[in-house]
Structure 1
Amino acid sequence: MSLRIAIRRTASPLGWTSRIATMPLRARVTSPTWIFGTRMYSTPTEDLLKPQQDDDPDDVVFTNNYGVRSIELNRPKKLNSLNGSMARKIIPRLQEWARSELASVIVIKGSGRAFCAGGDVAALAQWNQQGADGQQKSCDYFGLEYKLDHLIATYSKPYVAFMDGITMGGGVGLSIHAPFRIATENTLFAMPETTIGFFPDVGASFFLPRMEGGLGLYLALTSEQLKGVDAFYYGVATHYIHSSSLAQLESRLAELQFPDYMGLQERCKIINSTIEEFVTGLSADRPSISGELRTIIDRVFSVEQPNIQAIQLSLKEVQANSESPDIKKWAEKILSTLEARSPTSVMVTLQQMRVGRSWSIAETFQREYDIASWFMRGHDFVEGVTARLIQRKKERPDWRPATFDEVTSEQINEYFQPRIGLPLISNGDYKEYPHAWIGLPREEEILTAFAGKTREEAMSALMEKYEGKQGLREKITEVLERLG
């Protein structure tokens, strides 16, 4: 009888490990062909963490300063792109610090001009061309990366990410789920996966659908960038400070002392107040996407749109009917952007943004692992990485299928079939970010606060609740002008 290998999680002193169980296969014979070989399961965590011969001993630098434990990504020539060697070092350190009474705050940062520009996808594309073993190696990388991201998302101690510089793809996974995310004037945030025939991963299924209005779907489909203070206004970052203050802030965090009885939320309140000591003003009094453009994005990129063709039609209507030359130019640009993307990637991403809002943080990484594994056996990822990142071609890659109309719903549904069951290191889980209170309030909270109250009363109440947080007054003003 045919068998399928399934992963069950069992507790161990270091977290969650895996044991293998067998069950009939006939119920779901939908896995890609490469799975039917000697490897039919997600590789156990302890095997993924074993050092490899080509691991660089200096690609991550760890330092201790009183209660602060710092992680510095140290591949500046590669823009600190994340690889397996780095993840194999970071995971055990985080596990060690979680058990240490001396470690109070974790800080992660990057060397050079990037925080982390993404994952080392060029290596993955080369592995995928080697057949089943190479594709499994790529899947092992994603399994390791997602385990790390989930560990960060559910970490038991305060974790502060300095998003100073390029923060894309894998770098987003190292930062976006942290309670404290600090943007600077150098921050450049994007999820560019559809450009290379992939999908926004590293937990994007969780954080992008939870962004306000149509911003999440817009960023997911177009790979548009958020620069500097915009990352703060849109909730990607919880704070905005000048890059010259980061070293001082890290030193100040090292001075903090917490009683043993103090819980995580109480510690986070102290850290939040400490970070606010270093704010020096905002570079703009409103986000770059505001007013009419933001209203259009919320309408055009609503997850209620039935399909990608409806989004294209909406953009064409904006282009034809808007009286603003800038809006017309924007619509033309976005239409061209969507046409240049992998049709499969765009349509998978649209479905991902619809269903991801209901996933828990643990389910997010498990489902994304299934999606990533399916992409690894397809054509577009290798084609996109090779054309865009290796050969640096400017023309449209040879996507297959080549158009949106050629992609069927059956093909898209294959990406969302539960298959492997990625075992995670942490057993933590939640449906909403427990630390959402640290950033600026959401639009709905602002509108609720102003309902039935004078502007002065509502403004005063919000300023008191958020302790006069930098950017609060500016965001309230923009929201009321647009929606009030």
Structure 2
Amino acid sequence: MALKDEAREVIFEEIGGARKVILNRSKKLNTLNYEMLRKMYEKLKAYENDPIVKLVILKVFAMPEVLIGLFPDVGASYFLSRLPGFFGEYVGLTGARLNGVDMLAFGLGTHFIPSKSIISMENSLEKMIASSDSPSVATMSMIINEFAQEVNVKRDSAYSRLDMVNQCFCGESCEEILRSLECLALQTQDKWVHEAITSMKSANPIGLKIFLKTIREGRSKNIKQCLETEYVGISHLLGRTISNNFYEGSRAMLIDKDKKPQWLPSKLEDVSDEMVAKCLSRSFSDDDDWLPLQLPSRSSRTEVLTSKL
């Protein structure tokens, strides 16, 4: 990659009727900043209304929110709440990493494409776009399927531990979930259990409690309602309504990188239900220039294919 590309935090490529949006901030776990969001919004808005554009490919992402003082948002309370059992709670509260096979098994992905085949698949899609005035979703799906591979869930995969995850993460509170994990740790040396405990104990306590509330409520909400709730919560954390933990987490994990954030409150038991409720309340001080989330209406483009690779 050229040096000029390394300096750009998001890269846009235009090839015929295809467009690529590539996150290029790997040293910061591809966390999005304002400038990246602004550029992506401008480009994606233009793509949606451009009749020439037939395909948009978005590439590399991560969800490190609980580690940097936030909580999983961007619709996480919607799509994680719809995973089997309480696996969504496990992923969101611990930041557990899933491989491609696990994502496919849980429905977070639709196709498994080996890394070595990704570029070839993109090239085939781009050629198809270039040779057709009106490429169909069915044709694009056929091309993706040509490169997709069948996968088998291994015995030590995340999917295989679903029963134990359900046992621990069904708890009504973060404290109860953590106690269940600690009890399980006395019975097994499974690595994932000890990693989950370490992660929850090192994460922002208020972020954990906000996420648990949003994912539990998210099961009965639609995507629009989930996004609106998450937006309110993020606005409070950014505005320091309750604490400075987002800025402290960003300092410790992304800026100074000492990985020793000093959370306030520092313990789960010090985060009250009232504090969580305030973080999800739509009431802000008169001094805040806060506006509720306004989701744009979609264009009249008819066929949409969303493939998660």
Q: Which category of TM-score, normalised to the shorter sequence, fits these structures?
A: 0.7 to 0.9
Which 4+ stretches in 1 moved above 6 angstroms?
none
Report the TM-score when normalising by structure 2: 0.80
Are 1:210 and 2:79 matched, yes or no? no
- Report if aligned partners of 2:113, 2:148 keep a CA contact under 8 Å in 1: yes
Equivalent in 185, 198, 219 of residue 70 of structure 2: 198
CA deviation after TM superposition for structure 1 residue 216, in Å: 0.7
Once residues 133 and 209 of structure 2 are traced to their aligned partners in structure 1, the CA distance between those partners, rounded to angstroms, is 50
Match of residue 144 from structure 2: 275
Equivalent in 36, 42, 46 of residue 86 of structure 1: 36
CA deviation after TM superposition for structure 1 residue 311, in Å: 1.2
SS at match of 1:400: coil
Equivalent in 297, 311, 322 of residue 165 of structure 2: 297
User: Which digits, 9 at most, give the CA deviation of each residue in 1:109-167, with x for residues without a partner?
Assistant: 3xxxxx2xxxxxxxxxxxxxxxxxxxxxxxxxxxxxxxxxxxxxxxxxxxxxxxxxxx2
- Report if aligned partners of 2:105, 2:153 keep a CA contact under 8 Å in 1: no
Identity of aligned residues (%): 31
The 3 A distance-change label for structure 1 pair 249 and 439 is: closer
Once residues 333 and 79 of structure 1 are traced to their aligned partners in structure 2, the CA distance between those partners, rounded to angstroms, is 19
The 3 A distance-change label for structure 1 pair 401 and 96 is: closer
Match of residue 282 from structure 2: 418
User: Which digits, 9 at most, give the CA deviation of each residue in 1:279-303, with x for residues without a partner?
Assistant: 3554865671243x2211022112x
- Report if aligned partners of 1:199, 1:348 keep a CA contact under 8 Å in 2: yes
Q: Give the partner amino acid of 2:21.
A: I
Match of residue 406 from structure 1: 270
Unaligned runs of 5+ in 1: 1-55, 110-114, 116-166, 169-190, 429-433, 441-484
Once residues 332 and 69 of structure 1 are traced to their aligned partners in structure 2, the CA distance between those partners, rounded to angstroms, is 42
- Report if aligned partners of 2:105, 2:159 keep a CA contact under 8 Å in 1: no
Q: Greater Rg, structure 1 or structure 2? A: 1
The 3 A distance-change label for structure 1 pair 219 and 82 is: same
Match of residue 350 from structure 1: 212
- Report if aligned partners of 1:67, 1:255 keep a CA contact under 8 Å in 2: no
Are 1:234 and 2:106 matched, yes or no? yes
The 3 A distance-change label for structure 1 pair 284 and 208 is: closer
CA deviation after TM superposition for structure 1 residue 65, in Å: 2.7
CA deviation after TM superposition for structure 1 residue 399, in Å: 1.7
Report the TM-score when normalising by structure 1: 0.53
CA deviation after TM superposition for structure 1 residue 393, in Å: 2.7
CA deviation after TM superposition for structure 1 residue 59, in Å: 4.4
- Report if aligned partners of 1:241, 1:281 keep a CA contact under 8 Å in 2: no
Q: Give the partner amino acid of 1:335.
A: I
- Report if aligned partners of 2:98, 2:158 keep a CA contact under 8 Å in 1: no
Q: How does 1:331-350 map to 2 (within 5 A)?
A: 331-350=193-212
SS at match of 1:337: helix
Match of residue 286 from structure 2: none
SS at match of 2:257: coil
Q: How many equivalent residue pairs?
A: 288
The 3 A distance-change label for structure 1 pair 252 and 380 is: same
Once residues 196 and 49 of structure 2 are traced to their aligned partners in structure 1, the CA distance between those partners, rounded to angstroms, is 48
Equivalent in 245, 264, 282 of residue 380 of structure 1: 245
Q: Give the partner amino acid of 1:227.
A: N
Cα RMSD of the aligned pairs, angstroms, is 3.0
CA deviation after TM superposition for structure 1 residue 233, in Å: 2.3
The 3 A distance-change label for structure 1 pair 310 and 253 is: same
Are 1:392 and 2:257 matched, yes or no? yes
Q: Give the partner amino acid of 1:424.
A: L
Q: Give the partner amino acid of 1:272.
A: S
- Report if aligned partners of 1:370, 1:418 keep a CA contact under 8 Å in 2: yes
SS at match of 1:72: strand
CA deviation after TM superposition for structure 1 residue 76, in Å: 5.8
Match of residue 233 from structure 2: 371
Match of residue 56 from structure 2: 106
Q: Give the partner amino acid of 1:271.
A: M
CA deviation after TM superposition for structure 1 residue 80, in Å: 4.7
Once residues 79 and 306 of structure 1 are traced to their aligned partners in structure 2, the CA distance between those partners, rounded to angstroms, is 31
The 3 A distance-change label for structure 1 pair 198 and 80 is: closer
The 3 A distance-change label for structure 1 pair 405 and 96 is: closer
CA deviation after TM superposition for structure 1 residue 392, in Å: 2.6
Match of residue 221 from structure 1: 93
Match of residue 287 from structure 2: none
- Report if aligned partners of 1:221, 1:350 keep a CA contact under 8 Å in 2: yes
Once residues 28 and 272 of structure 2 are traced to their aligned partners in structure 1, the CA distance between those partners, rounded to angstroms, is 37
- Report if aligned partners of 2:214, 2:229 keep a CA contact under 8 Å in 1: no
SS at match of 2:52: coil
The 3 A distance-change label for structure 1 pair 435 and 352 is: farther
Compare the two structures and name the one with the higher strand fraction: 1
Once residues 262 and 82 of structure 2 are traced to their aligned partners in structure 1, the CA distance between those partners, rounded to angstroms, is 33
Q: How does 1:120-199 map to 2 (within 5 A)?
A: 167-168=61-62, 191-199=63-71
Match of residue 313 from structure 1: 179
Once residues 195 and 210 of structure 1 are traced to their aligned partners in structure 2, the CA distance between those partners, rounded to angstroms, is 23
The 3 A distance-change label for structure 1 pair 379 and 71 is: closer
